[in-house]
A and B are shown apart, each in its own frame.
Chain A
């Protein structure tokens, strides 16, 4: 697409692609809520149905992952830098992996999406308006599945498997030396933020306390009945900006 493409041409292109574009499904929830397990199960099922599926994980952009990893390890990130680098990661994945796959008609399963950043960074004390602004223009998922869990259960599950990392435990804001104790306090704030976001952004909730196969059955039902959130209404700006970029990969 030429950079000079008129707004009218872009609008028309987006409207035409609406029928064939892929579905964007976001999995959200506290650590230990079983998002990754359910994402993998859904991917296997969708592929068995003959659909092309692309998965994308949080903080996995090849552009940002190496520099984020080093800075997290040496604990030098401030709340703002932490938030902004995740915004860089998210924007880069939107432009180079999520949008190209959707445009080509593939289903995209996002293991954590924008709402993870909103919940975690708001729990760190950043202003929600500024956060939303940093992530603008938004590419709205067609379906957000929220795996609900109490802060206590999340803490218990994490404690049984590993010691949370410095930033995961929120030690940068709680100032508590013990990672598990800090996690307990921090996840309480994160879950509160998630619950607020669930109402505002109309998440579909799945109880992560249910048996894995029950959750999977529920997720399948949700995906089968999911309707697209029309790009021209919800995500016009994000898609148009991507189409205007002459270097954006496209099928």
Chain B
């Protein structure tokens, strides 16, 4: 029996604008990696429970975009300590879904300086692989949901009570900011992007139970 391939202890940052898309993309990527025998852990937003408790304390929605960015940083510090660093230490691949770019894209779309956000989150180590979730329903804005993702949570808290759906433009801005990353390779987890991201993590390690190719090798001349 072949020895189980050793996990490469990599950090994958997976960002996006909608909780459902981030979760689905993270799970697909994790499944691909696990098929290759790699131990994979997903670190999700609000692992600290701060946002959940904060929503209970802030029924009137008094928190500003800057205040929420600081809470995001505190939550990320918690995730880094209890989930990300611990799993990396054990040699696992960690998918941080979301990581720093989601907070930066949302913050800048609400008028916060990018430099302030980057400096605030500078304690987070750079990811080995950077990926973007497969975004669906692009024509829609966010539904104000407190339990899905950071942007949707902020949409629920920051939107004036009259408009229950934040403008589509804001989500479009966040997606545009996420896609405008320069200087680094960013994998879009749709189509070939998923396979490329997997390859970036594993090298050329094949899936242990990959389906047979359509034309068996023995049939070749």
Contacts and interface: CB of A to CB of B under 8 A. Distances in A.
Contacts of B74: 80-81, 84-85, 88
A115 to B, nearest CB: 18
Nearest to B81: A78
Contacts of B123: 80, 130
B138 interface: no
Interface stretch (B65-73, B126-134, B181-189, B195-203): B65-73
B57 A134 contact: no
A127 to B, nearest CB: 9
Contacts of A241: 64, 66
Contact of B64 (A87, A91, A134): A91
B139 interface: no
B53 A96 contact: no
Contacts, number: 71
Given A84-B77, A85-B74, A130-B122, A91 B67 contact: yes
A235 to B, nearest CB: 15
Majority-rule SS of B interface residues:
helix
Contacts of B66: 91, 241
Interface in B77-124: 77-78, 81, 111, 116, 119-120, 122-123
Contacts of B78: 78, 81
B64 A95 contact: yes
A247 B160 contact: yes
Interface string A223-251: 00000000000000000010011111100
A62 interface: yes
B160 A246 contact: yes
A43 to B, nearest CB: 25
A99 to B, nearest CB: 11
Interface residues of A, number: 27
B64 to A, nearest CB: 5
Contacts of B119: 130, 133
A95 B61 contact: no
Chain B, interface size: which category?
20 to 34
B116 A136 contact: yes
B77 to A, nearest CB: 4
Nearest to B50: A67
B170 interface: no
Contacts of B48: 81
Interface in A59-116: 62-64, 66-67, 78, 80-81, 84-85, 87-88, 91-92, 95-96
Contacts of B116: 133, 136
B53 A88 contact: no
Given A88-B74, A134-B120, A245 B64 contact: yes
B62 interface: yes
A87 B77 CA distance: 14
Contact of A87 (B50, B53, B70, B158): B70
Contact of A66 (B53, B70, B81, B122): B53
B77 A134 contact: no
B54 interface: yes
A62 B122 contact: no
Interface in A144-190: none
B77 A78 contact: yes
B57 A133 contact: no
Nearest to A133: B119
B77 A81 contact: yes
B70 A88 contact: yes
A244 B70 contact: no
Interface of A: 62-64, 66-67, 78, 80-81, 84-85, 87-88, 91-92, 95-96, 130, 133-134, 136, 241, 244-249
5 tightest CB-CB pairs across the interface, nearest first?
Answer: A84-B74, A80-B77, A88-B70, A67-B53, A81-B77
Given A78-B78, A84-B73, A245-B64, 17 more contacts: A63-B63, A64-B54, A66-B53, A67-B50, A81-B74, A81-B78, A84-B70, A91-B67, A95-B67, A96-B62, A130-B122, A130-B123, A134-B70, A247-B64, A247-B158, A248-B64, A249-B62
